[in-house]
Amino acid sequence: MSVVRVLLADDQALLRATFRILIDSCDDMAVVGEASDGAEAVELARAHHPDIVLMDIRMPGTDGLAATSAICADPDLTATRVLILTTFETEDYVAQALRAGASGFLGKDVTADTLLAGVRTVASGESLLSPGATRTLITRFLTSPAPGGHLAPPERLADLTVREREVMALAAEGKSNTEIAEDLTVSPLTVRTHVHRAMTKLGARDRAQLVVIAYQTGLVQAGPTAL
């Protein structure tokens, strides 16, 4: 059985201890390190190459968003995914976390079962957005570049097939593989194959990053009546 290796990054020692006990109680997970700030999280990620970094946002010194950017931009950490866990579940934080490359976002008020399920979901390559991170939020923030940034050129999608673009667009609208399969009258496995091919061609580490690219290239555009 494959074990999901988790790095904890939170400035509160008690919370880290609680998360460690919870995660280590599962046969399919193990904590490989603990960081008390963003800089230490980046250092330990490079040392241990965890599957998941459970990252707090507000930490002294280097915060979780900066640490997420550094980890997701490191070519040696392409297999490492970041799951943001914080009490500060505001629209701006969610948008920044997604732009930084985070694969998931949960509030600290989630139940233990939800947290563990979230770790497994992100480890499997899927994205995870809590109820607070709605489709409206994504369309509102990801269609414009971050300050000092630039939208991705549409030419970036040139290598995708018509069906891959179609599946990518539906995924960016918040639809699951099952829902996309029903829309296109194909099997969920076929949809999953198209999603993974699109991710590979675009260098996206997971579905969340694929959604970001879809909006930033204009493949999907925000509308005033987005749900």
**Residue 74 to residue 71: CA distance in whole angstroms:** 5
Paired residues of 7 in beta bridges = 33, 53
pLDDT at 227: 34
pLDDT at 143: 53
pLDDT at 139: 52
pTM of the model: 0.70
Q: Which three-class secondary structure state does DSSP give residue 123?
A: helix
Residues sharing a CB contact under 8 Å with residue 43, sequence separation 6 or more, in sequence order: 35
- Residue range 4-133, CATH number: 3.40.50.2300
Sign (positive or negative) of CA dihedral 184, 189, 190, 194: positive
> Are β-strands 29-35 and 104-107 bridged in parallel, bridged antiparallel, or unpaired?
unpaired
Q: Which three-class secondary structure state does DSSP give residue 34?
A: strand
pLDDT at 222: 58
- Per-residue pLDDT of the chain (227 residues), as tens digits, is 689 999 999 999 999 999 999 999 999 999 999 999 999 999 999 999 999 999 998 888 888 999 999 999 999 998 899 998 877 556 567 777 777 888 888 877 788 998 898 899 888 877 666 444 545 455 555 555 555 454 556 678 889 999 999 999 988 877 778 889 999 999 989 998 999 899 889 988 777 778 778 877 888 775 543 33
Q: Are 210 and 199 contacting, i.e. CB atoms less than 8 angstroms apart?
A: yes
Maximum Cα interatomic distance, the chain, rounded to a whole number of Å? 50
Query: Structural domain boundaries of the chain?
Result: 4-133, 145-216
**Residue 101 to residue 86: CA distance in whole angstroms:** 16
Residues sharing a CB contact under 8 Å with residue 162, sequence separation 6 or more, in sequence order: none
- Residue range 145-216, CATH number: 1.10.10.10
